[in-house]
Structure 1
Amino acid sequence: MLRLTAENFRDQAVDAITSVKKIYELDEPLIDTKTSNEFVVEQLLNDPSINFRSPREVNKIITRQNQQHMQPSDLDKALDDLKAEYDISVEIFNKLETIDFGSAKLVERTATPARCLTVKMLLLAKQIQEHPPKPSDPRRVNISFKLQHLRNQYRNLNVSSQPEAESIKNEVTEQVNEWLKVNATEQQVINESISKLLTAADTGQKLSKLIDEYPHLKFEVIATRVTQIIGITSRFTGRDYSEIATKINIIEKSINEDSTLNEFLKETSFGNRQTQLQNPRCQ
C-alpha cells in the first residue's frame, strides 16, 4: 500500500515536471513564407541594433533562427534532478514487499527525497504563478508584425478611401481577437501545469505524514489512508482555474502545519544554489 502511494506520487510529479518543461518551450510561430520574408526585410531595414559586421548575427535574422526550441538548461537540469532523486525512494519502497525485518528503517530512508520533492513541487507552482513564462511570444510577434503592416497601410490611405479604411479596421480587430485567444490558451496551459504540481505536492504531503506514522500504524489504517489519498488527488483536476491561488495557499498551509515538512520548506529554495549547498538534504 505504501509502494502504491509512492508510485502514485512519483507518476504525478513526473507528469507535472513534463508539463513545466513544455510551457518553458517557445511555441512554433505560425507564419507563411511571404510574411516571413517581409518581416526579415523590415527588420534589416529598421532594426538599429543589427551588427552587419557579424555574419552570424545577420544569418540568424535571414534564416529566422531563434531560441524557440531551446529550453533553459539550468531549469532542465533541476527538473531532471527532481525526478532522479525520487526514483531512488521508489526503489526502496519496492523492497518492502520482500523484506520484513527493518522495513520501518527502509521507509524512513525514503523520507528525505519524498519531502524534498514535495516542497519543490509547491515552490515551483508558486514560482510559475508569480512569474509565468510566455511560451506563446513568437505567435505574438507574428501578430505584432501584422498589426504594424496594417498600420502602415492605414496611414498611406487617401482621404477618399473609406471602404479600404473599414477593411483595415476589420483586419485589426481580427488580429486583436487572435491575440486574446493566444493569451487565453497560454494561461490555460500554465494553469494546468500549476494544478499538476499542486496535485503532486498534495500527495507528497500526505505521503510524508504516512511515513512519519508508519511504524505505529496497523495495515488496515494504512490501507484506508492510501485509499483516501488516491481518492482525493484523483478529484483534484485543476479545471477550476480561478481558484489556483487559493489551492496554492491551502496546500502551503498544510505543509507549514506539518512540523517535518515545514523545516524542508524553510530550508529549500528552488534554483537557489547557495541555499542548496547549506542544505545538502535537498540538493
Structure 2
Amino acid sequence: MFNRITEDNFRNIQLPRQSSLVNFSSFRELRTDVLFRSFSLKFVLEGCEQYLIDGHLFKVSKGDFLLGNHFSDGKLLIQSDEDVKGLCIDISPDIIAEVSAGFHFPELTEQDLDFEKYLISENFVENKYHFSQNIIGQQLSKISQQIVGQQHYNFDFSPEFYYRLAENIVSIHYPGFLRIKNLKTVKSHTRKSLYRKIQSARDYIDLHFATIQNIESVARESSISEYHFYRLFRQIQGESPYQYITQKKLQFAKQLLKDKSLSLTDVAFICGFTDLSSFSKNFKKHFRIPPGQFR
C-alpha cells in the first residue's frame, strides 16, 4: 500500500495497523498523536518533525530518520512556513519477527534468543539516525528520491522491499540489543530511560568532543552523577567515556592530517589535545604510526 498524505486528506485516510505500507506526507502544520502503527521509520526529506515519545523529544530534521514500534506512544508536532515533507514506512511485526528469527549472528547464543521479540516489544528503544550513518538511511534516501521524482506515480512495493529493509534494521540493532542487556536493572522502563541518557551523552560527545574539558560536564548534560555515568557508559558502550572521546579526536585528526597546510601542532589543538606530545603519543598508540609519518 502507498499513500500521499497532506493536510487536505489526512483526516479522511484510514490506515491499517500492524501491516506493511509506505506513506509520503507534506504538511505545514500538524499536531497529532504519534502514529507508530507497526514497526515504523519516519524519514524527513524537508523541514523538521518533532516527536515527543515517553517524555523524550526527538527533533527529526532533513536527512534524519526515527525508528519506533507500536509501543512508542507520544505526540507529533509540525509547524513551518514551508512544506515539511516526510516518508513513513511501516513494516508488519510478523515480517520483523520472521527476519529476526532467521537472521544469523555468530555471537548469538541460546540465552540471546529474546532478540527475536526485542524489536516488536516495549523494550525497544527508539533511535534517531542521519541517513548517511547506515545502510537503512541509504535505502530510505534512494526510495524517497524516486517518490519525489515521480509525483503522480502510484507505487507498489513488493514483499521483497520490506524484507530487505527489515534485514538491515535487524543487523544494525543487534548490537544495541546487547548493550541494553548489559544494563544491570530489572525494569524495562528504567532500562530504556538509562539507555536513552547514554545515547544522548554519546550524541553530545559526537558534536563537542574537541571542546569537552572533563567527563563531569558530559555527565551533567545527561543528568547523571559522574560515577554513575562512567559505570553506565562502560556497560553500554564497552569502553569508558574517556576512551570514546579520545577515539573521536583521533579519527578527526586522521582526516585533518590530509591537509598539508596544517602543522601537527595545529591538528593537535583543533582536535582538543592539550599539547603536541599528548596528541602524538595517543595517535601512535592507536594507529601504530606517528602522525608525522601518517602524512
Asked whether the two chains share a fold, i.e. TM above 0.5, the reply is no
TM-score (norm: length of structure 1): 0.20
TM-score (norm: length of structure 2): 0.19
Between structures 1 and 2, the one with greater helix share:
1
Q: Which has the larger radius of gyration?
A: 1
Query: Whose RCO is larger (CA < 8 A, sep 6+)?
Result: 1
Between structures 1 and 2, the one with greater strand share:
2
